[in-house]
Amino acid sequence: MSGVPDPARAPSRPDLTFLRHRSPAIVPRPEPPRPEPPKPEPPKPEPSPIAGAGGTSLDLGIAAPPDPAPPPTAPTAGRHQPLRVRKARRTVNGTVTRLSATAPSVTLNRLQSGIGSLEFSLSRAAGAGELSLGCVYQLQSRIEGVIQTSGATTGPPGSPLPLLRMKMRADGDSVSFDLRQITTLRRALLYGYSPSGAPTSWSGTIVASTFGGAQLEIPLAGPSSGGTLAMVTIYNVDGELVLRSEMEQFRGRPQRAAEAFGFQPWIDG
């Protein structure tokens, strides 16, 4: 492969800010013996989630999908390190799992995802202004629905024992999933919106805990606005719930946020 510049001998580029923190020199490894291509390496645990720190991994600071594909093999193994895929982050006994921009997701195991209920509550300082919760969801059947403070408060419609329930309390609304029925859920998006449309500060935290007591905290983030904040996505991946802090703002009604995340527009109740 001639003509490819060698990073170890490249001139420094002080004009490019993202290259200021240079990774250590890459020493090309000797070509592996042919004819068999080397076996894919198992995924290594990522030492630091901070983007730009070390290695040649494609580290964008976003957690890898829970089922990492094996890294690419063979002819380029001499020039490049294999893709380092981060293991799914899990809760740790006795500690609070905080989801933020640098470490946005966590995977609950099958017991945490299937026992009791999972209730996402909005915890906010008194006088912080109005903030309503909603949740758009998709079932394994691909049927979609919405529950919201102003609107249907249980879902799917017509269920005597609903999968999703909104609870409106003076100290903060919450969205609760009945985990006995979690196998019917494919994915969901928890969001907040300003009920009057007036700008509201997105201050506060979404808190949740598993049946076994693992605590989750998802601080809200973003400048004040009168629109919608997509807060947390919940994906059912092979029986394990993957929760991800999104904190993405949208102007206008929650429908726009739902569409951006691939949910079909719904008819307002």
Partner 1 sequence: MAPPLKRGANVALTKEIPSLAGVVLGVRWNAGGDQALSDNLVAATMLCGADGKVLSDKHFVFFNQLVSPDASVAQMNRLVGDDKEQIEVELRAVPTDIERIVVMLYINDGSAVKRSLGQLRSCAVRVLNLDGNAELVRSEELATALSMETAVVLGELYRHDRDWKFRVVGQGYAVGLKGVAEAYGVSL
Binding site for partner 1 (CB under 8 A): 93, 109-117, 160-162, 165, 177-183, 210-213, 239
Residues present in the chain in total: 269
Smallest gap, in angstroms, from Cβ of residue 256 to partner 1?
A: 31
Structure tokens at 77: 């193994």
CB of 237 to partner 1, least distance (A): 12
Smaller CB separation from partner 1, 78 or 239: 239
Tell me whether residue 112 or residue 245 sits nearer to partner 1 (CB atom): 112
CB of 143 to partner 1, least distance (A): 19
In the complex with partner 1, the residue whose CB is nearer, 158 or 160, is 160
Residue 80 or 211: which CB sits closer to partner 1? 211
Q: Which is nearer to partner 1, 2 or 93 (CB)?
A: 93
Least Å distance between CB 209 and partner 1? 11
Q: Whole-angstrom distance between the N-terminal and C-terminal Cα of the chain?
A: 62
Residues 6+ apart with CB under 8 A from 34: none
Q: Output 154 or 249, the one with its CB closest to partner 1.
A: 154
| Residue 136, C-beta contacts closer than 8 angstroms, at least 6 positions apart | 144, 145, 146, 188, 189, 191, 254, 258, 261, 263, 266
Q: How far apart are CA 21 and CA 33, in angstroms?
A: 34
For the sheet containing 240-250, what is the strand order?
A: 105-107, 240-250, 228-237, 185-193, 132-139, 144-148
CB of residue 177 vs partner 1: minimum separation in angstroms?
8
B/e letters for 122-139, b = 16+ CB within 10 Å, e = fewer, are: bebeeeebebbbbbbbbb
Considering just the CA atoms, what is the radius of gyration of the chain in Å? 22
Query: Beta 96-98 vs 215-219: how paired, if at all?
Result: parallel
HEC string of 221-233 equals CCCCECCEEEEEE
CB nearer to partner 1: give 33 or 160: 160
Burial of 213 (0-12, 13-18, 19+ CB in 10 A): exposed
